[in-house]
Amino acid sequence: MTTTLLSSAIQMRLTHCQEKMNTLLKQYLPPDNQTPLFNAMHYACLNGGKRLRPLLVYMIAELFDAAPEQLNPLAVAIELIHCYSLIHDDLPAMDNDDLRRGKPTCHKAFGEANAILAGDALLTLAFEVLANERSYPIKNQSTILKIIHLLAIAAGPQGMVYGQAFDMAAQGNSLNLEELMQMHRTKTGALISASVQCSALATGKASENDLVDLQKFGQALGLCFQIQDDILDAQGNSEKMGKNPGDAKKHKCTFVTLLGLKQAKAHALHWHQEAQTSLDRFKNKALPLRSLASFFIERSM
């Protein structure tokens, strides 16, 4: 299959996943009843989004011949965590952005207090979804606990929160390459990697060796995503990105400001190859995941 056909197939899967997630998120979110808090939660979750992390959940399920619908609560929980993180990242005290997914950021639309509370509510709701045995097809409590533990690590002071604090502290300062990668392994890569690992755990079919290689895949994929994000930001197309470019203007260290555009692209290709290599044990069954890895560094939004 050609690269163009593979990219087209991934785009079709993304579109399907976006439609599916919009339906599922509406089921799990509190009713949109015109209260500012609930409206802000709906706005943050249903105003677009690539849904790459839920797609990873479903693709890993397929890798182990598990029914994707069994992982719906996991996909929802991960997307809720992601949407919470975007609300808080955009706040005036953080990145101070006013555009997200081509629309005003949550605090611009609903005020800063409602945006903070909506983010808090989405993060908490994610763990409520995972802990609710009545709605979760996975009945093995030990597996559920492992999944909750992994996601808590990815979202908390060892993961996304640490990465955001690192990012804020680094503004105006120079970082070396290892420091920059460490920041993005936590801020961006932690939830991507957790999406892969939690899905594999949820199937009940992944061996320890499978989990090790999938962790490597998720980490490499996270770096691919972030480097490509920095490249797109440097090229400055807010229409395609759905958010305002200009990390360099905010005195942020990015892969492009540190390495230059040419070397940043080479670095993205390196981590793309690392992602591909980590899938070797899965042979032909990993072809969709290989296509997704290629999509990560070829994307224009």
Band of pLDDT at residue 2, cut at 50, 70 and 90: very low
Q: What is the pLDDT of residue 247?
A: 56
Please give the mean pLDDT across all residues of the chain.
90
159-170: pLDDT as tens digits: 999 999 999 888
Report, as an integer, the average pLDDT of 263-275. Answer: 95
Residue 201 CA to residue 150 CA, distance in Å, equals 10
Contact between 290 and 224 (Cβ < 8 Å): no
Q: What is the pLDDT of residues 216-240, one digit of tens each?
A: 999 999 999 999 989 998 887 556 5
Q: What sign has the CA pseudo-torsion 107, 111, 115, 118?
A: negative
Q: What pLDDT does 3 receive?
A: 45
DSSP string covering 53-92: HHHHHHHHHHHTT--GGGGHHHHHHHHHHHHHHHHHHHST
pLDDT at 241: 56
CATH class of 3-298: mainly alpha
pLDDT at 171: 83
The per-type count for the chain, helices as H runs and strands as E runs, is: 15, 2
| Every domain of the chain and the residues it spans | 3-298
241 or 207: which leads in pLDDT: 207
Q: What is the pLDDT of residues 50-104, one digit of tens each?
A: 999 999 999 999 999 999 888 999 999 999 999 999 999 999 999 899 999 889 9
Q: Which residues contact 118 (CB under 8 A, 6 or more apart)?
A: 37, 40, 41, 43, 44, 84, 87, 106, 110
- Which residues, in sequence order, are CB contacts of 68 under 8 Å at separation 6+? 58, 61, 62
Q: Give 100's strand partners.
A: 103
What's the whole-number mean pLDDT along residues 197-202? 95
Specify the pTM. Answer: 0.92
